[in-house]
Chains A and B, each alone.
Chain A
Amino acid sequence: MDYHIYHMFPKLLNLYGDHGNIITLEYYASQLGLNPILHEIDDVNNIDWDNVDFMLIGGGSDREQALVTEQLGLIKDKIKEEMEKGLPILAVCGGYQFLGNYYQATNGEKLAGLGILDFYTVGQTQKRMIGNALVQTQDFGELIGFVNHAGETFHDLSPLGEATSGYGNNLTSSIEGIYYKNMIGTYLHGPLLPKNPQLTLFFIKTFMKRKGLPYDDSLIDLSFENKAREMMKQRILDNSVNKDDFY
């Protein structure tokens, strides 16, 4: 069974190793007997909407992000429609901010977002939110990642989880991300999927369910993943990753 992975604007929205999410998704999909096919989209006319099985929208620098807004704007209705129908989408950092109504730059100017979901982000210069983060979620257990953003996001939608260590959506609340239908919007880089296999499997499981295929992940070996999680979690809890260290 072919599994069509869409990576939106990988040349522009490619900060902080987000491509690692694709490498990881492809690997697991192969392990589960699927035939992953990667579509790297830099022109929205090249999307075959009947065969989109997963979509990644990553983050770019402010300059690069502005370049993409126009293109993504052309397909915002289609993205929304597919999202409502249950398309698995992962939107990270700038990609997450895009989904909202607007991004207010530090000079007060409001840059229009895609308006796919009702929320907004405000840029600020007081403090950039940088560092490792642990996010406790109801549906996916604990997520481990790294955040690096200056925009503060505000919404009343259903969150992905709560940051128990590190930053969440903004400087005043520990709420992190959005989880709506099968769309996950989050500030978590890392990249996110390699160290959070439960999310990778969720995206693939959702695809298989939508296609009416049987799903069984009991043979997937997660020993490296589990050790990576254990080691990183311990470092975050000891706070040893956030200190300056002698060596």
Chain B
Amino acid sequence: MGIILGKLAIAFSRFSGRKGTNIGGKIALKFNKHILRKLTANIDEIILVSGTNGKSTTTNIIAQTLSNSKASIVSNIDGANMYTGIVSTLIDNYKLGKNNHYQYGVFEVDEGSIPLVLNDLDKCSLVITNFFRDQLDRYAEIDIIIDKINNAVALKGDDIKLYLNVDDPFCYRLRDYNFIGYGLDKKIDIFKEGTISDSRYCAICGRALQYSKIFYGQLGHYTCECGFNRPNPKYLLSNVSNEALKINNTIFHHHIMGSYNIYNILAAISVLKEMAIKDEIIEKTLVNFKTIDGRMQLLHLNNHQIYLNLVKNHAGMNLTLQEISYLKVNHVCFLLNDYTADGKDISWIWDADFEYLLNMDIKKFFISGTRCYDMALRLKNMGIDEHKIIVNPLFETIIDLVISDNAFIIASYTALWKAKKLLEAKEH
């Protein structure tokens, strides 16, 4: 009953022009609080991907590779990652009267939904990418969210296998469980370190962690007097060159833009290798990887290159600003909204290192969104000439101005969909 009504709600929501990514799940849940258990009953193996940044890309690499290995899979690749979103995805794919069997379910999961989702699954793997401050208006503090995940994982006992980014001391706090580690070799040198870190202090004893190498934020090679030391990971990324990377003793070619994606590729490969997927299939997927919309998406408009990238927090912003410095763009555009899905607290813009922009040759900055003037103040107060900053709350106006030259557009979550629609309409 719940499943049928859920399917109807999704159809109706789409008919009325919305994305329909949560509504089906919300309705179905009214009929069965543990409907996820029923919907996943015939999935042989479930892989969850969570963490602050990189969830979507990691999920997509895993899902696309498994698809290419001819397995039957179901995945929320549209990014609806709350409990209700995952339920909606499954309902949408549900074929009435069939057994709905899949070899694999690969799901991106919002950090806050992990306890609920784990509670409804018997066995699964959980990949954690990293933890950065993000949407603290929903989660209060990173420590609180990690404690909740820790408790939920503890309840699963031997029924859960973790994949942890051991370079992140926050992730490594989950070390007490059955886990596979992945991380970067000390000599990897492709990140700017950045100024603000969430916490480089030991979660166990409170002392400052000793770093022999910092990649970015709190990610690096750390030790602590109390013994909280980064372990050697099972999957070590030891070399990066343009479009290739070496993991343990294997070289993988890829065509995925954005240097920060090496962590996502590494996480995905760790999972796929553990599942005994052949290297050729992994590499073929990486080379033909279809970028998710709005993740370093490149559009061509009137002979100009327009990049579009989703940014949700200061860590993602720092990495994106670093990408911009490698490109030839004259315009940089920020679309900053503060709806629920964006996070109502936009204070993180002051934690990001926009100061990088002072050393780039950007001709003009364009800003829109519900918090456009907050963003304008961020740029102005760090010393960017006010006359170079063009602000307008109307997206349409700003987008028209931005695309008159090579441009990089950075958008918050809800702004991304709007910008994408406007840009793609112009592309055709």
Contacts and interface: CB of A to CB of B under 8 A. Distances in A.
B347 A241 contact: no
A139 interface: no
B391 interface: yes
A231 B351 contact: no
Interface string A231-244: 11001000001101
Nearest to B16: A246
Contact of B347 (A63, A146, A247): A146
Given A148-B345, A231-B373, 4 more contacts: A17-B348, A19-B350, A63-B206, A246-B18
A191 B350 CA distance: 8
Contact of A194 (B201, B206, B340, B381): B381
B196 A190 contact: no
Interface in A41-88: 61-64, 66-67
Contacts of A23: 350, 381-382
A195 B374 contact: yes
Contact of A19 (B206, B351, B414): B351
Nearest to B141: A61
Given A19-B351, A194-B377, A224-B373, A247 B143 contact: no
A194 B345 CA distance: 14
Instruction: Give the size range of B's interface with the partner.
Output: 35 or more
Contact of B136 (A15, A20, A224): A15
Interface of B: 18, 133, 136-137, 140-143, 196-197, 199-201, 203, 206, 337-341, 344-345, 347-351, 370-374, 376-378, 380-383, 386, 389, 391, 393, 414, 417-418
B373 A67 contact: no
Given A16-B345, A195-B374, A246-B18, A148 B136 contact: yes
A228 B370 CA distance: 10
Contacts of A228: 373-374, 376-377
B372 to A, nearest CB: 8
Interface in A1-31: 11-12, 14-20, 23-24, 27
A12 B199 CA distance: 7
A67 B203 CA distance: 11
Which of B203, B376, B414 has the most CB atoms of chain A within a 10 A radius of its CB?
Answer: B376
10 contacts: A12-B201, A15-B141, A19-B351, A20-B351, A63-B143, A63-B206, A131-B137, A148-B136, A194-B378, A195-B374
Nearest to A42: B208
Interface SS of chain A: mixed
A128 B163 CA distance: 32
CB-CB nearest 6 A-B residue pairs: A20-B350, A17-B350, A17-B347, A228-B373, A27-B381, A247-B414
A233 B289 CA distance: 44
A63 B18 CA distance: 41
A243 B422 CA distance: 25
A225 interface: yes
Nearest to A228: B373
Nearest to B380: A224
Nearest to B374: A228
B69 to A, nearest CB: 36
Interface string A182-210: 00000001110011000000000000000
Contact of A61 (B143, B377, B382): B143
Given A27-B381, A231-B373, A247-B417, A62 B350 contact: no
Contact of A241 (B200, B338, B341): B338
Contact of B133 (A15, A24, A62): A15
Contacts of A232: 371, 374
A198 to B, nearest CB: 14
Contacts of A227: 373, 391
A63 to B, nearest CB: 5
Contact of B374 (A15, A148, A194): A194
A191 B347 contact: yes
Contacts of A190: 347
A225 B203 contact: no
Contact of B196 (A14, A62, A132, A191): A14
A131 B373 contact: no
B381 A14 contact: no
Contacts of B347: 16-18, 20, 146, 189-191
Which of A15, A27, A146, A194 has the most CB atoms of chain B within a 10 A radius of its CB?
Answer: A194
A156 interface: no
